[in-house]
């Protein structure tokens, strides 16, 4: 021994006894809190302190999995998790990930992270999300469309964008996708700014890549006006008066088209062509006025003699009944069920036609949808509140 006070010297050559421990001069009490180079990573025994809160990532939708980060802490802690629904613990939900269930829909979901080190524990809450129901799109139920265009998401398996937009400030273009299965308006406005936004591409959600495009600026439908998304009620809509998007759709001899639009023409117009049934001047599927009557129309070569349904009911040829229904400000779903073979490109709206139509959605099938028509129209009506 090198000291005179007994065996406390240990291996560090102290002269006050046992308390020296790891080279301190005040006794046992600090031996676990100091090292040769100073304080250890326990930092003098302080509990963990949170500086960046935990954060949730993932889609807040039934059946989807959320992940909770730890956040940022001092004190080198370990972590545990507790997921909560409306502030109450969810039984057995104690991992960093959690899969949302039906009971979570419409509630407030968050995760509490507990950080623990040698001297204590502390907790911090993540942000809160409100899950929505599992998404089932119209095309999930009524599959087989040859082309499908909409400002809402039509299929749970579709992962592409909704539209491509040109902004007026510098003519730059950008794709705009979906948020919660509808057009991402926030991203759209961030991109366009205080100017106008025009649609250069309306993406086909059917999986057949029949995108509808327009490269001529003057013919592109407008989606944003002076920094405001064009809407009817709460729903975004494209202004398509004398505008045109064209695709390469070629139909078989049997076809069905479901067009969702609102007419903005004051009074009675000479002609209403269904969006995406028009292929050139005078060749279209739509409604024509002849004298005092209005009749469904379809070029015999390209459309045969189609049957039309408006808002769930068969269209009559009475001018008053038909055009009253199509008067200014009436939102409609018009279905064309018929034959004929389209051998040219479809157009959203041919510039020569009368009727200021604002378009929400067009779905085209190469097969008869007679048995599905009521169901498809019901789905459309539920979303757009037409009738």
| pLDDT given for residue 229 in this prediction | 98
| Dihedrals phi, psi of 174, to nearest 5 degrees | -150, 145
CA–CA dist 6, 300 (Å, integer): 114
Cα(368)–Cα(256) distance, integer angstroms:
6
Q: Which of 291, 288, 302, 306 is nearest to 353 (CA)?
A: 288
The answer to whether residues 165 and 200 touch, using CB atoms and an 8 Å cutoff, is yes
Closest by CA to 334, choosing from 305, 371, 306, 302, is 306
pLDDT at residue 276, as a whole number: 63
* Alpha carbon distance 162, 178 (integer Å): 7
pLDDT of residue 314: 83
* HSE toward the beta carbon, residue 202, CA cutoff 13 A: 34
The per-residue pLDDT for 24 is 46
Q: Could you tell me which of 191, 160, 190 has the C-alpha nearest to residue 174?
A: 191
Question: Is 69 within 8 Å of 97 (Cβ atoms)?
Answer: no
Helix, strand or coil for residue 120? strand
Overall CATH class of domain 138-384: mainly beta
- The pTM score is 0.69
CATH of 50-125, one of 2.60.40.60, 2.60.40.2700, 1.10.260.40, 3.40.140.80: 2.60.40.2700
Q: What is the mean pLDDT of each run of 10 residues along the chain (387 residues)?
A: 45 44 44 41 75 95 94 97 98 97 96 96 97 91 94 95 98 96 96 97 93 89 96 91 68 79 66 61 64 66 76 74 64 79 62 67 90 96 92
Indicate the domain borders of the chain.
7-40, 50-125, 138-384
Which residue's entry shows tokens 């909560």? Answer: 84
């Amino acid at each position: 021994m090198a000291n005179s006070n007994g065996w406390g010297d240990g291996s560090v050559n102290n002269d006050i006894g046992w308390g020296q421990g790891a080279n301190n001069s005040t006794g046992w009490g600090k031996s676990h809190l100091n090292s040769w180079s100073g304080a250890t990573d326990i930092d003098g025994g302080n509990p963990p302190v949170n500086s960046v809160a935990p954060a949730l990532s993932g889609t807040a939708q039934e059946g989807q999995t959320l992940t909770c980060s730890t956040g940022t802490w001092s004190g080198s802690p370990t972590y545990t998790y507790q997921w909560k629904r409306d502030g109450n613990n969810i039984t057995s939900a104690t991992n960093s990930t959690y899969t949302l269930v039906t009971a979570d829909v419409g509630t407030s979901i968050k995760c509490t992270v507990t950080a623990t080190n040698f001297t204590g524990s502390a907790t911090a809450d993540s942000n809160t999300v409100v899950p929505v129901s599992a998404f089932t799109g119209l095309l999930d139920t009524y599959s087989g469309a040859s082309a499908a265009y909409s400002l809402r998401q039509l299929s749970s398996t579709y992962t592409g964008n909704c539209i491509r937009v040109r902004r007026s400030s510098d003519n730059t273009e950008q794709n705009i996708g979906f948020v919660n299965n509808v057009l991402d308006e926030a991203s759209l406005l961030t991109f366009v700014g205080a100017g106008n936004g025009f649609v250069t591409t309306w993406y086909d959600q059917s999986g057949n890549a029949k995108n509808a495009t327009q490269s001529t600026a003057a013919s592109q439908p407008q989606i944003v006006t002076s920094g405001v998304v064009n809407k009817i009620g709460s729903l975004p809509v494209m202004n398509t008066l004398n505008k045109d998007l064209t695709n390469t759709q070629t139909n078989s001899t049997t076809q069905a088209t479901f067009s969702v639009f609102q007419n903005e023409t004051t009074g009675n117009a000479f002609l209403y062509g269904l969006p995406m049934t028009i292929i050139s001047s005078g060749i279209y599927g739509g409604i024509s006025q002849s004298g005092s009557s209005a009749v469904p129309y379809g070029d015999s070569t390209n459309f045969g003699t189609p049957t039309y349904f408006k808002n769930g009911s068969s269209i009559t040829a009475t001018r008053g009944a038909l055009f009253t229904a199509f008067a200014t400000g009436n939102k409609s779903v018009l279905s064309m069920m018929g034959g004929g073979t389209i051998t040219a490109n479809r157009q959203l709206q041919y510039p020569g036609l009368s009727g200021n139509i604002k378009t929400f959605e067009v779905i085209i099938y190469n097969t008869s949808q007679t048995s599905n028509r009521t169901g498809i129209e019901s789905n459309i009506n539920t979303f757009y509140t037409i009738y």
